Structure 1
Amino acid sequence: MDNFKSLESLALHLSGLDLSITEHLHKALEKSAARVAKVAKDEIGSYQTSIGDFPAWAPLKSATESAKRRAGYEENSPLLASGEMRDSIQSKVYGDEAIIFSTDEKMVYHEFGTLNIPARPVLGPAVLRSGEYIRRAMSQALVRGLIGRLPRGA
Protein backbone atom coordinates (compact mmCIF):
# COMPACT_ATOMS: atom_id res chain seq x y z
CA MET A 1 0.00 0.00 0.00
CA ASP A 2 1.31 3.45 -0.86
CA ASN A 3 2.23 5.84 1.91
CA PHE A 4 0.56 9.16 1.29
CA LYS A 5 2.33 12.32 2.37
CA SER A 6 -0.82 14.45 2.25
CA LEU A 7 -4.57 14.29 1.88
CA GLU A 8 -4.08 15.70 -1.61
CA SER A 9 -1.89 12.77 -2.67
CA LEU A 10 -4.46 10.34 -1.22
CA ALA A 11 -7.30 12.14 -3.02
CA LEU A 12 -5.39 12.03 -6.33
CA HIS A 13 -4.73 8.34 -5.83
CA LEU A 14 -8.39 7.60 -5.07
CA SER A 15 -9.64 9.62 -8.04
CA GLY A 16 -7.47 7.45 -10.28
CA LEU A 17 -9.24 4.34 -9.00
CA ASP A 18 -12.64 5.39 -10.36
CA LEU A 19 -12.41 3.20 -13.47
CA SER A 20 -11.24 0.15 -11.51
CA ILE A 21 -14.01 0.53 -8.95
CA THR A 22 -16.64 1.04 -11.66
CA GLU A 23 -15.49 -2.06 -13.57
CA HIS A 24 -15.54 -4.26 -10.48
CA LEU A 25 -18.94 -2.97 -9.36
CA HIS A 26 -20.37 -3.55 -12.86
CA LYS A 27 -19.17 -7.16 -12.85
CA ALA A 28 -20.65 -7.65 -9.37
CA LEU A 29 -23.95 -6.16 -10.56
CA GLU A 30 -24.03 -8.59 -13.51
CA LYS A 31 -23.33 -11.54 -11.19
CA SER A 32 -25.94 -10.33 -8.71
CA ALA A 33 -28.58 -9.94 -11.42
CA ALA A 34 -27.84 -13.42 -12.74
CA ARG A 35 -28.13 -14.76 -9.19
CA VAL A 36 -31.54 -13.12 -8.67
CA ALA A 37 -32.77 -14.60 -11.98
CA LYS A 38 -31.56 -18.05 -10.92
CA VAL A 39 -33.24 -17.77 -7.51
CA ALA A 40 -36.48 -16.69 -9.23
CA LYS A 41 -36.32 -19.67 -11.59
CA ASP A 42 -35.65 -22.01 -8.68
CA GLU A 43 -38.74 -20.71 -6.82
CA ILE A 44 -41.09 -21.83 -9.56
CA GLY A 45 -42.51 -25.28 -8.96
CA SER A 46 -42.38 -25.22 -5.14
CA TYR A 47 -44.63 -23.45 -2.68
CA GLN A 48 -42.82 -20.38 -1.37
CA THR A 49 -42.92 -18.98 2.14
CA SER A 50 -43.52 -15.30 2.79
CA ILE A 51 -40.60 -12.88 2.80
CA GLY A 52 -40.72 -9.16 3.49
CA ASP A 53 -44.09 -7.84 2.29
CA PHE A 54 -44.52 -10.74 -0.13
CA PRO A 55 -47.10 -13.37 0.88
CA ALA A 56 -46.61 -17.11 1.02
CA TRP A 57 -48.04 -18.85 -2.01
CA ALA A 58 -51.59 -20.09 -1.71
CA PRO A 59 -52.20 -23.75 -2.57
CA LEU A 60 -53.39 -24.43 -6.10
CA LYS A 61 -57.12 -25.06 -6.42
CA SER A 62 -58.14 -28.68 -6.93
CA ALA A 63 -59.57 -27.77 -10.35
CA THR A 64 -56.18 -26.37 -11.36
CA GLU A 65 -54.41 -29.51 -10.13
CA SER A 66 -56.88 -31.70 -12.05
CA ALA A 67 -56.34 -29.68 -15.24
CA LYS A 68 -52.56 -29.97 -14.82
CA ARG A 69 -52.82 -33.73 -14.29
CA ARG A 70 -54.99 -34.15 -17.42
CA ALA A 71 -52.48 -32.13 -19.42
CA GLY A 72 -49.66 -34.36 -18.21
CA TYR A 73 -48.00 -31.80 -15.96
CA GLU A 74 -46.59 -32.43 -12.51
CA GLU A 75 -48.97 -31.85 -9.60
CA ASN A 76 -48.14 -29.67 -6.59
CA SER A 77 -45.77 -27.60 -8.70
CA PRO A 78 -47.16 -24.05 -8.65
CA LEU A 79 -46.41 -21.93 -11.73
CA LEU A 80 -44.60 -24.84 -13.34
CA ALA A 81 -46.38 -26.51 -16.21
CA SER A 82 -44.30 -26.64 -19.37
CA GLY A 83 -41.44 -24.68 -17.82
CA GLU A 84 -41.79 -21.87 -20.37
CA MET A 85 -42.53 -19.18 -17.79
CA ARG A 86 -39.64 -20.30 -15.59
CA ASP A 87 -37.28 -20.37 -18.56
CA SER A 88 -38.40 -16.91 -19.67
CA ILE A 89 -36.86 -15.24 -16.59
CA GLN A 90 -33.80 -13.21 -17.54
CA SER A 91 -31.52 -10.50 -16.26
CA LYS A 92 -29.93 -7.58 -18.06
CA VAL A 93 -27.64 -4.83 -16.86
CA TYR A 94 -27.77 -1.37 -18.36
CA GLY A 95 -25.08 0.89 -16.95
CA ASP A 96 -25.57 0.86 -13.19
CA GLU A 97 -29.04 -0.71 -13.23
CA ALA A 98 -30.02 -4.36 -13.26
CA ILE A 99 -33.37 -5.57 -14.52
CA ILE A 100 -34.77 -9.00 -13.73
CA PHE A 101 -37.78 -9.82 -15.89
CA SER A 102 -39.84 -12.44 -17.64
CA THR A 103 -40.79 -12.40 -21.30
CA ASP A 104 -43.85 -14.51 -20.48
CA GLU A 105 -46.84 -12.17 -20.22
CA LYS A 106 -48.50 -14.46 -17.65
CA MET A 107 -45.78 -13.70 -15.10
CA VAL A 108 -47.32 -10.33 -14.23
CA TYR A 109 -50.62 -12.03 -13.32
CA HIS A 110 -48.84 -14.38 -10.95
CA GLU A 111 -46.48 -11.75 -9.53
CA PHE A 112 -49.30 -9.39 -8.53
CA GLY A 113 -52.40 -11.60 -8.68
CA THR A 114 -55.74 -10.87 -10.33
CA LEU A 115 -59.36 -11.14 -9.25
CA ASN A 116 -59.19 -14.89 -9.96
CA ILE A 117 -55.52 -15.68 -9.39
CA PRO A 118 -53.87 -15.22 -5.98
CA ALA A 119 -50.52 -13.44 -6.01
CA ARG A 120 -47.60 -15.84 -6.19
CA PRO A 121 -44.75 -13.36 -6.44
CA VAL A 122 -41.48 -14.63 -7.85
CA LEU A 123 -39.27 -11.73 -8.89
CA GLY A 124 -39.63 -9.51 -5.81
CA PRO A 125 -38.98 -12.31 -3.32
CA ALA A 126 -35.99 -13.47 -5.36
CA VAL A 127 -34.38 -10.06 -4.83
CA LEU A 128 -34.93 -10.29 -1.07
CA ARG A 129 -33.69 -13.88 -0.91
CA SER A 130 -30.55 -12.78 -2.76
CA GLY A 131 -29.89 -9.79 -0.52
CA GLU A 132 -26.91 -11.20 1.36
CA TYR A 133 -25.30 -12.42 -1.87
CA ILE A 134 -25.75 -8.98 -3.45
CA ARG A 135 -24.38 -7.16 -0.40
CA ARG A 136 -21.32 -9.41 -0.28
CA ALA A 137 -20.68 -9.21 -4.04
CA MET A 138 -20.90 -5.42 -4.10
CA SER A 139 -18.72 -4.90 -1.02
CA GLN A 140 -16.08 -7.31 -2.34
CA ALA A 141 -16.15 -5.50 -5.69
CA LEU A 142 -15.56 -2.18 -3.97
CA VAL A 143 -12.57 -3.58 -2.07
CA ARG A 144 -11.16 -5.13 -5.26
CA GLY A 145 -11.59 -1.81 -7.02
CA LEU A 146 -9.80 0.05 -4.24
CA ILE A 147 -6.86 -2.27 -3.53
CA GLY A 148 -6.85 -4.63 -6.52
CA ARG A 149 -7.64 -7.76 -4.52
CA LEU A 150 -9.51 -9.05 -1.52
CA PRO A 151 -7.57 -9.10 1.74
CA ARG A 152 -6.67 -12.56 3.04
CA GLY A 153 -9.50 -14.19 4.91
CA ALA A 154 -12.19 -12.00 3.30
Structure 2
Amino acid sequence: MREFAHLGEMVAHLATMAAAETLALHHGLKKCAVAIEKTAKQEIGEYQGEVGPFAGWVELADGTKADRLAQGFTENDPLLRNGKLRASISHQIHGLDAVVGSDSDIMVYQELGTEHIPPRAVLGPAAIRNKELILKTLGQAAAEGLLYGAGSTLTALE
Protein backbone atom coordinates (compact mmCIF):
# COMPACT_ATOMS: atom_id res chain seq x y z
CA MET A 1 0.00 0.00 0.00
CA ARG A 2 1.27 3.44 -0.86
CA GLU A 3 1.69 5.98 1.90
CA PHE A 4 1.57 9.74 1.49
CA ALA A 5 3.37 12.35 3.55
CA HIS A 6 0.45 14.78 3.29
CA LEU A 7 -2.96 15.23 1.69
CA GLY A 8 -1.57 17.29 -1.20
CA GLU A 9 0.70 14.41 -2.20
CA MET A 10 -2.26 12.04 -2.25
CA VAL A 11 -4.35 14.46 -4.34
CA ALA A 12 -1.52 14.83 -6.85
CA HIS A 13 -1.17 11.05 -7.05
CA LEU A 14 -4.93 10.60 -7.65
CA ALA A 15 -4.85 13.22 -10.41
CA THR A 16 -1.94 11.41 -12.05
CA MET A 17 -3.82 8.11 -11.78
CA ALA A 18 -6.88 9.66 -13.47
CA ALA A 19 -4.72 10.98 -16.32
CA ALA A 20 -3.00 7.59 -16.67
CA GLU A 21 -6.39 5.85 -16.82
CA THR A 22 -7.60 8.19 -19.57
CA LEU A 23 -4.36 7.77 -21.54
CA ALA A 24 -4.45 3.97 -21.25
CA LEU A 25 -8.09 3.83 -22.37
CA HIS A 26 -7.36 6.21 -25.27
CA HIS A 27 -4.53 3.94 -26.47
CA GLY A 28 -6.78 0.90 -26.06
CA LEU A 29 -9.59 2.51 -28.06
CA LYS A 30 -7.13 3.38 -30.82
CA LYS A 31 -5.98 -0.24 -31.03
CA CYS A 32 -9.60 -1.45 -31.20
CA ALA A 33 -10.66 1.12 -33.82
CA VAL A 34 -7.70 0.23 -36.03
CA ALA A 35 -8.60 -3.48 -35.79
CA ILE A 36 -12.27 -2.86 -36.65
CA GLU A 37 -11.31 -0.66 -39.61
CA LYS A 38 -8.91 -3.31 -40.91
CA THR A 39 -11.51 -6.07 -40.57
CA ALA A 40 -14.19 -3.97 -42.32
CA LYS A 41 -11.86 -3.26 -45.23
CA GLN A 42 -11.02 -6.97 -45.53
CA GLU A 43 -14.74 -7.83 -45.80
CA ILE A 44 -15.15 -5.80 -48.98
CA GLY A 45 -15.12 -8.12 -51.99
CA GLU A 46 -15.74 -11.34 -50.01
CA TYR A 47 -19.14 -12.82 -49.21
CA GLN A 48 -19.75 -12.64 -45.46
CA GLY A 49 -21.71 -15.08 -43.37
CA GLU A 50 -24.19 -14.22 -40.66
CA VAL A 51 -22.70 -12.70 -37.51
CA GLY A 52 -24.70 -11.51 -34.52
CA PRO A 53 -27.85 -9.74 -35.73
CA PHE A 54 -26.35 -9.18 -39.20
CA ALA A 55 -27.53 -11.44 -42.01
CA GLY A 56 -25.09 -13.15 -44.31
CA TRP A 57 -24.63 -11.55 -47.71
CA VAL A 58 -26.81 -12.87 -50.50
CA GLU A 59 -25.29 -13.65 -53.90
CA LEU A 60 -25.15 -10.74 -56.33
CA ALA A 61 -28.04 -10.71 -58.78
CA ASP A 62 -27.33 -11.94 -62.31
CA GLY A 63 -28.07 -8.46 -63.64
CA THR A 64 -25.55 -6.95 -61.24
CA LYS A 65 -22.92 -9.48 -62.29
CA ALA A 66 -23.54 -8.71 -65.96
CA ASP A 67 -23.35 -4.96 -65.28
CA ARG A 68 -20.08 -5.39 -63.40
CA LEU A 69 -18.56 -7.32 -66.30
CA ALA A 70 -19.80 -4.77 -68.84
CA GLN A 71 -18.08 -2.01 -66.86
CA GLY A 72 -14.79 -3.92 -66.74
CA PHE A 73 -15.01 -5.16 -63.15
CA THR A 74 -14.83 -8.70 -61.84
CA GLU A 75 -18.16 -10.51 -61.85
CA ASN A 76 -18.62 -11.61 -58.28
CA ASP A 77 -16.72 -9.51 -55.73
CA PRO A 78 -19.48 -7.89 -53.66
CA LEU A 79 -18.99 -4.22 -52.78
CA LEU A 80 -15.69 -4.13 -54.65
CA ARG A 81 -15.38 -2.26 -57.91
CA ASN A 82 -12.69 0.41 -57.89
CA GLY A 83 -11.67 0.32 -54.22
CA LYS A 84 -13.27 3.65 -53.33
CA LEU A 85 -15.78 2.10 -50.93
CA ARG A 86 -13.01 0.24 -49.10
CA ALA A 87 -10.88 3.39 -48.98
CA SER A 88 -13.80 5.36 -47.51
CA ILE A 89 -13.67 3.34 -44.28
CA SER A 90 -11.68 5.06 -41.56
CA HIS A 91 -11.56 5.66 -37.83
CA GLN A 92 -11.37 8.69 -35.56
CA ILE A 93 -10.53 8.92 -31.88
CA HIS A 94 -11.61 11.88 -29.76
CA GLY A 95 -10.73 11.45 -26.11
CA LEU A 96 -12.60 8.36 -25.00
CA ASP A 97 -14.82 8.16 -28.09
CA ALA A 98 -13.93 6.02 -31.08
CA VAL A 99 -15.78 6.02 -34.39
CA VAL A 100 -15.25 3.62 -37.28
CA GLY A 101 -17.27 4.45 -40.35
CA SER A 102 -17.44 5.74 -43.88
CA ASP A 103 -18.31 9.06 -45.46
CA SER A 104 -19.76 7.26 -48.48
CA ASP A 105 -23.53 7.25 -49.10
CA ILE A 106 -23.00 3.93 -50.88
CA MET A 107 -21.81 2.38 -47.60
CA VAL A 108 -25.06 3.45 -45.95
CA TYR A 109 -27.10 1.81 -48.71
CA GLN A 110 -25.05 -1.37 -48.49
CA GLU A 111 -24.98 -1.48 -44.70
CA LEU A 112 -28.73 -1.02 -44.30
CA GLY A 113 -30.04 -2.18 -47.67
CA THR A 114 -32.58 -0.41 -49.87
CA GLU A 115 -35.72 -1.34 -51.74
CA HIS A 116 -33.54 -2.91 -54.45
CA ILE A 117 -30.34 -3.84 -52.57
CA PRO A 118 -30.22 -6.41 -49.78
CA PRO A 119 -28.16 -5.32 -46.76
CA ARG A 120 -24.50 -6.26 -46.85
CA ALA A 121 -23.39 -4.98 -43.48
CA VAL A 122 -19.67 -4.37 -43.05
CA LEU A 123 -19.11 -2.10 -40.04
CA GLY A 124 -21.30 -3.79 -37.43
CA PRO A 125 -20.00 -7.28 -38.24
CA ALA A 126 -16.41 -6.01 -38.15
CA ALA A 127 -16.97 -4.81 -34.58
CA ILE A 128 -18.51 -8.15 -33.57
CA ARG A 129 -15.66 -10.08 -35.17
CA ASN A 130 -13.26 -8.10 -32.97
CA LYS A 131 -15.24 -8.60 -29.76
CA GLU A 132 -12.56 -10.66 -27.98
CA LEU A 133 -9.82 -8.19 -28.91
CA ILE A 134 -11.98 -5.28 -27.73
CA LEU A 135 -12.79 -6.89 -24.38
CA LYS A 136 -9.18 -7.91 -23.76
CA THR A 137 -7.68 -4.60 -24.88
CA LEU A 138 -10.06 -2.31 -23.01
CA GLY A 139 -9.97 -4.51 -19.90
CA GLN A 140 -6.19 -4.42 -19.95
CA ALA A 141 -6.19 -0.66 -20.56
CA ALA A 142 -8.54 -0.06 -17.62
CA ALA A 143 -6.46 -2.25 -15.33
CA GLU A 144 -3.18 -0.65 -16.38
CA GLY A 145 -4.60 2.82 -15.88
CA LEU A 146 -5.86 1.92 -12.42
CA LEU A 147 -2.55 0.32 -11.49
CA TYR A 148 -0.53 3.36 -12.49
CA GLY A 149 1.91 4.16 -9.73
CA ALA A 150 1.76 0.63 -8.34
CA GLY A 151 4.94 -0.41 -10.18
CA SER A 152 3.14 -1.26 -13.43
CA THR A 153 3.76 0.46 -16.74
CA LEU A 154 1.64 1.17 -19.78
CA THR A 155 3.93 -0.79 -22.12
CA ALA A 156 1.53 -3.69 -22.69
CA LEU A 157 -0.66 -1.53 -24.95
CA GLU A 158 2.16 -0.48 -27.27
Under TM normalisation by the shorter chain, which class is it? 0.7 to 0.9
| Structure 2 residue identity aligned to 1:75 | E
C-alpha distance in structure 2 between counterparts of 1:87 and 1:132, whole Å: 25
2:116 maps to what in 1? 116
C-alpha distance in structure 2 between counterparts of 1:4 and 1:93, whole Å: 34
C-alpha distance in structure 2 between counterparts of 1:135 and 1:20, whole Å: 19
C-alpha distance in structure 2 between counterparts of 1:76 and 1:99, whole Å: 30
2:139 maps to what in 1? 139
Alignment of 1:74-153 (within 5 A): 74-145=74-145, 146-147=147-148, 148-149=152-153
1:143–1:149 CA contact under 8 A, matched in 2: no
Shift of 1:131: 0.9
Secondary structure of the 1:92 match is: strand
1:30–1:93 CA contact under 8 A, matched in 2: yes
Shift of 1:15: 5.6
C-alpha distance in structure 1 between counterparts of 2:112 and 2:53, whole Å: 12
| Structure 2 residue identity aligned to 1:149 | T
Shift of 1:67: 1.0
Cα displacement string for residues 43-68 of structure 1 (whole angstroms, at most 9, x for unaligned residues): 11000011111000010001111111
The Cα RMSD (Å) is 2.2
Q: What TM-score, normalized by structure 1, do the two folds share?
A: 0.86
Structure 1's unaligned 5+ residue stretches are none
2:38 maps to what in 1? 38
C-alpha distance in structure 2 between counterparts of 1:91 and 1:4, whole Å: 39
C-alpha distance in structure 1 between counterparts of 2:68 and 2:39, whole Å: 24
Matched, 1:72 2:76: no
C-alpha distance in structure 1 between counterparts of 2:54 and 2:104, whole Å: 21
C-alpha distance in structure 1 between counterparts of 2:63 and 2:16, whole Å: 63
C-alpha distance in structure 2 between counterparts of 1:100 and 1:114, whole Å: 22
C-alpha distance in structure 1 between counterparts of 2:23 and 2:153, whole Å: 13
| Structure 1 residue identity aligned to 2:143 | V
| Structure 2 residue identity aligned to 1:51 | V
C-alpha distance in structure 1 between counterparts of 2:84 and 2:2, whole Å: 57
1:49–1:55 CA contact under 8 A, matched in 2: yes
| Structure 2 residue identity aligned to 1:144 | E
Number of aligned positions between the proteins:
147
